[in-house]
Amino acid sequence: MTSIRLANHTDLATIQQLAEATWEPTYRSILTQEQIAYMFDVIYTPDALTKQMQNGQTFMLLQENNIPVGFAAFSVKELATQVYKLNKIYLLPETQGKGYGKMLLQAVEQEIKSRGAHTLDLNVNRYNKAKSFYERCGYHVHHEEDIAIGPYWMNDYVMRKAL
């Protein structure tokens, strides 16, 4: 049995544990170990996660039989046009292929629609095989962008879906 709920500050340790289990397997084929470690330290420390929540990111947890197996985070990107951004979505490797990614993505879409969103954007590395997953879920490449994170660059597609 699966469930999805909004997370709060008491869930940050769980989110960090999920990130530890998902981050390296997700990126090892497209990023160096040094870049993975650097970015993880920038994004997933307890302080970094706390700041993300304080700065408007909303986290959601997906649970299988009451055990957290994935998470997503979203925030407002452009308030005037009601564009939101999916900041993160990760599932434990052993749960991939069960439809949980689609379930979690749809939960984010429903939540932001209830908040007035018309559009959801997300970034995906140009070499990440997840691009095809997002395309199957109705997203298209809107544009490309390169983002500096410390001494490293993320070469991304910005994908978009009208809700």
Per-residue confidence (pLDDT) for residue 119, from 0 to 100: 98
Share of the chain above pLDDT 90, in %: 91
Average pLDDT, rounded, for the chain: 96
Q: In CATH, what is the architecture of 2-162?
A: 3-Layer(aba) Sandwich (3.40)
Residue 136, token pair as written in the block:
């199957």
Please answer whether residues 58 and 73 qualify as being in contact, where contact means their C-beta atoms are separated by less than 8 angstroms.
yes
- Classify strands 140-149 and 83-91 as parallel, antiparallel or unpaired: unpaired
Please answer whether residues 128 and 135 qualify as being in contact, where contact means their C-beta atoms are separated by less than 8 angstroms.
no
Terminal alpha carbon distance of the chain: 27
Span 60-93, pLDDT tens digits: 999 999 999 999 999 999 999 999 999 999 999 9
Per-residue confidence (pLDDT) for residue 145, from 0 to 100: 97
Mean of pLDDT values over 25-32: 90
Residue 48 pLDDT class (50, 70, 90 cuts): very high
Residue 115 pLDDT class (50, 70, 90 cuts): very high
Per-residue confidence (pLDDT) for residue 56, from 0 to 100: 97
pTM above 0.85, yes or no: yes
Per-residue confidence (pLDDT) for residue 78, from 0 to 100: 95
Q: Where are the domains of the chain?
A: 2-162
- What is the rounded distance in angstroms from the CA atom of residue 105 to the CA atom of residue 82? 18
- What is the rounded distance in angstroms from the CA atom of residue 31 to the CA atom of residue 128? 10
